Copies of this chain bind each other. A is one copy, B any other.
Amino acid sequence: MSAFSRNHEPKLSQIQIDDPFWTPRQTLAREVVIPYQEKVLNDEIDSLPESEMSHAIRNFRIAAGLEEGEFHGMVFQDSDVAKWLEGVAGSLAISRDPALEERADRVIELLALAQQPDGYLNTYFTIKCPERRFTDLQECHELYCAGHMMEAACAYYEATGKDRFLKIMMRMADCIIDNIGPEEGKIHGVPGHEEVEIGLLRLYRATGEKRYLDQAAWFINERGKDPDIFEKEAKRRGWYLWGNGGGDRTYTQVHAPVRMQKKARGHSVRAMYLYTAMADLALETGDDTLLKACRTLWDNVTKAQMYITGGIGQIARWEGFGTEYELPSDTVYAETCASIGLVFFARKLLEHSADGSVADVMEQALFNGVLSGMQLDGKSFFYVNPLEVIPGVSGVFPGYEHVLSKRPRWYACACCPPNVVRLLTSLGRYAYGENPEERVIFAHLFAGGRADLENAIVTVESSWPWKGDVKVHVRKKDPDKNLTFALRIPAYVTEGTLSAAGETCSIEALRGRKDLFRDGYAYISCNEEETDILFRAELPVRRIYASPKVRAAAGKCALKRGPLVYCFEQADNGERLWETVLEKNASFTVKTCEKGALKGMLLIETNGLRQAKPDSSFIPECGDDPGYAGALYGTPAPVYVPQKLTAVPYFAWGNRKEGGMQVWIRNA
């Protein structure tokens, strides 16, 4: 449908993941999280206090006139239903489940009943104040909810072939177009929380209806033209539901026209959804100025404001971006949803061109900042993904209240858990890509399974991230036509081999081969009907250093192995982790965890040091009491005693005894 050559993401139905790492996580999403969320949405979790009841389905029943009652929950409560439905779509694409599908269909019928004659669909306004529809675009999340519903409808259509939900959301999209837009008499507004742009673009591709593309384009192009848009909107309506008066322009990314935005600012999830939509629109329209803006923003995020975990958003107060290179480990926000948004944004950039530096970041965010959001048992979730947790400070100290050391069960504002679910169940979208015009298939991530693409069927066996072996089998659909398989070779792989068609090449040599290697991808010509590709990467433990500009990591390093960031937990390393030091020449032992929650994972062991006070000779600064252990300041320098250190994958932290954690460790 696009006018431009594009590395398309595959449809949900095209990919079946079968991978020792990812399949259990998809299963968890399908068998634990989705059913749990279904109960939450239906107020069937008795352990939740009344105040945290979701009421989301009941809101729809009330809006549909099936039940008496009041709206309850966040103004964007509807989006929980949308995200659940999107997760269900992914789940059904992975494995048909007629009972689940029937229940989802019933929810969709409920949406149809709650939909107003003009197509409007939002329970908050329908129940509470229909006269206020579309008057608080800044914070009332109508367009946000609609966007999520559109994404869910498209996914459900992709997964099941049923267009009932799609049609509902087309009517809502048309209602939005009827009410908001450039024409005289319409509201000239943009959404305060971007998302509808993504939904409209998906809807456009699912339906081919250009008006959805145009509306998305209008929202994106209109944004920031009037930086006072929300202040004016607030004045016009004269009431507040919540949020600010629109004075904080960067929070909602209306401080400048989108093509003029050079630095990522404001609420990080909003920013990511905007940039994702911008990149998507540029794909549809071939708008280079928009693509350029996307790349500038991408660089700003990933080269100045991103944590090593792929976490983004330094500032808790506005859940968003801060000062460049100022990346505090301990007061960080790094919302799970923001890292998911970064994955979305990366994915869209990869559709423009396969660029290893983008795919590497996507993988980094996925394996670390996203996965850390979910407990290993799928039963509890982090919003905030810190790089350092200090018992007695994190969760307590002002500025640290948001930093928890234990994943809560569920949230009243339940955005992160279903966002993880929809990402996990649609993983194939991120792992693969295809450019049908140029007959190139891309493997952006290593994920085992089967991809039924336009030009070939690809079967992959992957031992990533624990081991570096990836076997790819490509069977062309038309043996007579050329086909290229492009396999990402992560920047962090410096040793290993790539074999194809009987030839083996070292990774080092491969990187020198301009004919085979470009921008982080190996381009393998599939000349025969079937081609076997074998990628074997060494995955040594690496010490990673931050740019010296990063104050929080000065004099420190982090451990990575493959795409996995590791961290040090109190459970393995004792209290006061900041006292521990990694020696410059220490070697690492990689060991399989034998028991407990981390069973089967590879842990890193090394001989480190721990700073201690030289008790017998310590001269306190105040008072004459040599050796006084209670003194706060004194001389001489601390001594360092040997300490065995154990690092665990960052995504798995907080799954054992609650306690301190740190990613960055002092590096002597």
List chain A positions with a Cβ less than 8 A from chain B. 299, 302-304, 306, 308, 315-318, 322-323, 325-326, 331, 355-358, 360-361, 364, 390, 392-393, 396-399, 491-492, 494, 511, 519-520, 542-551, 554-555, 557-558, 560, 576, 578-579, 581, 584, 611-613, 619-625, 630-638, 666-667
Contact B632–A302 (Cβ < 8 Å): yes
Complex: how many Å from CA A356 to CA B635?
Answer: 17
Q: A494-B619, A623-B520 are in contact. Are A576 and B547 (CB under 8 A)?
A: no
State the number of copies, please: 2
Complex: how many Å from CA A468 to CA B633?
Answer: 21
Complex: how many Å from CA A397 to CA B317?
Answer: 10
Q: A543-B637, A545-B636, A621-B364 are in contact. Are A630 and B303 (CB under 8 A)?
A: yes
Min CB–CB distance A234 → chain B (angstroms): 23
Q: A545-B634, A549-B576 are in contact. Are A555 and B611 (CB under 8 A)?
A: yes
Contacts of A397 in B (CB 8 A): 315, 322-323, 326
Contact A622–B548 (Cβ < 8 Å): no
Min CB–CB distance A347 → chain B (angstroms): 15
Residue in contact with A398 in the complex, picked from B306, B316, B579, B636, CB distance below 8 Å: B316
Complex: how many Å from CA A244 to CA B357?
Answer: 51
Extra A-B contacts (16), CB below 8 Å, given A331-B399, A491-B620, A545-B638: A302-B622, A306-B632, A308-B632, A317-B398, A323-B397, A355-B623, A360-B621, A360-B623, A361-B622, A492-B621, A511-B624, A519-B624, A542-B635, A548-B611, A548-B612, A551-B578
Min CB–CB distance A422 → chain B (angstroms): 24
Nearest 5 A-B pairs (CB), nearest first? A357-B623, A360-B622, A399-B399, A317-B398, A554-B578
Contacts of A302 in B (CB 8 A): 622, 632
Complex: how many Å from CA A374 to CA B398?
Answer: 28
Complex: how many Å from CA A144 to CA B476?
Answer: 86
Contacts of A638 in B (CB 8 A): 545, 548
Min CB–CB distance A186 → chain B (angstroms): 37
Contact A637–B545 (Cβ < 8 Å): yes
Complex: how many Å from CA A666 to CA B635?
Answer: 16
* Closest residue on chain B to residue A391 by CB atoms: B323
